[in-house]
Amino acid sequence: MPAEAHHARALEHQRRVAEYTQGFLQRRHAGQKHPVEDFLFTYYSHSPGQLSRWHPGAGTVLEGAGGSEQAGWKFYTTVDDGTPTGGATVDVEEFRKARETMISFARRLLSATAARPAQLGCFGLHEWAMVYRSVQHGQRHDQVPLRLGSDGTDEVVESLNIRCTHFDAFRFYTPSARPLNALTPTRETQVELEQPGCLHANMDLYKWAYKLIPAVSSDLLLDCFDLAWRIRELDMRASPYDLAAWGYQPVRIETPQGRADYARAQKGFTEEAQVLRGRILGALDEVDALADARA
């Protein structure tokens, strides 16, 4: 990729990232919090600064970047591209060697998830189960009121079937809610249970993309981030929390119409996530092909 092109791509990427991170950084400086938008920067371990770094992905040589800061980033190497400084590119052999265990797990998890039919009947009840019987257990995010109060929230949980398949949601259930779930997800059963209709599994595509940086491109990473950003909004609008003060109208999953609205949005996110899941798996295939060709 010519120098002018990759410099422009990097600047455009930084501009796009700033649209998401500016509010969070300003709030952090002011000691403020946002119950919806801060999640992707506090739950996940990828910082705004890391997200702002642009990576072309495996197989692309950045012309004339051999003497740049990027050439010294982890898993980069310098190659002869005919310029005085040389070019910079991802060292796929070193990346695959160093990240072998994580790559193997990501491939198994994403492939297994992609192959299963989507389950669209959970209605976001995982968030309700996290505050079930809050009078007894205490309330997560207690700075945000419950839309139906504690008794009304408990009634919704008890009137609907909870069938969460995602361990990283299930582990935050209150002790009273755990026996109500149709399944008992664990870290060990994650590959067996993960399914493509799960909002949290689809948000986690962002996690797998940044764990696979720089072998995956920043374009793919930001596409995963954008999907996670929009899923987070639905997740919170369908939650038991009253977010009217932050400008969010609820998806009232305690009603038939609300459940239908949720399932329709969930289906759209599922379709988007399956495309991104395939792109991540394709990036891993590209790493293997490039590394094997150079072996």
How do the pLDDT tens digits run along the chain, 295 residues long? 999 999 999 999 999 999 999 999 999 999 999 999 999 999 999 999 999 999 999 999 999 999 899 999 999 999 999 999 999 999 999 999 999 999 999 999 999 999 999 999 999 999 999 999 998 887 666 779 999 999 999 999 999 999 999 999 999 999 999 999 999 999 999 999 999 999 999 999 999 999 999 999 999 999 999 999 999 999 999 999 999 999 999 999 999 999 999 999 999 999 999 999 999 999 999 999 999 988 7
CB 101 within 8 A of CB 293: no
- The domain tally of the chain equals 1
pTM equals: 0.95
pLDDT, residue 153, reads 97
Question: Which range of residues forms the domain containing residue 243?
Answer: 3-294
| Residues 89 and 77: beta-carbon distance below 8 Å | yes
CA distance 218 to 224: 10
Work out the angle between the directed axes of helices 256-294 and 218-237 (0-180°, nearest 10). 160
